[in-house]
Amino acid sequence: MKIFDFSQPFFIAFVVFLVIWDLVWKGLALWKAAQNNHGAWFVCIFIFKTAGILPIIYILLNRGKKE
């Protein structure tokens, strides 16, 4: 008995959604980090795969801040 059947359409759709979700948030956060000259944030967001959590945290913490 399998716990997860990775060939199911629901699982495939979920993975596609998760990839798109992560790419959108990562792109926005990388753009903001580059504009604000936050090199450490840029590298961390670029390297770590956090399903959009780290980019959302960065955007929320640096909302409205311009250096």
Burial class for 67, CB neighbours closer than 10 Å (0-12, 13-18, 19+): exposed
CA 34 to chain centre: 15
Residue 18 included in any domain: no
Task: Please state the pTM of the whole predicted model.
Answer: 0.75
Domain that holds residue 54: 23-67
Q: What is the dihedral of CA 31, 45, 50, 64, to 10 degrees?
A: -50
Q: What is the pLDDT of residue 1?
A: 53
Residue 27 included in any domain: yes
Structure tokens at 15: 């993975």
Residue 60 included in any domain: yes
Residue 8 included in any domain: no
Residue 1 included in any domain: no
pLDDT, tens only, 30-46: 999 999 999 999 999 89
**Number of domains into which the chain is organized:** 1
Find the helix packing angle between 53-61 and 9-35, rounded to 10°.
Answer: 30
CB 4 within 8 A of CB 11: yes
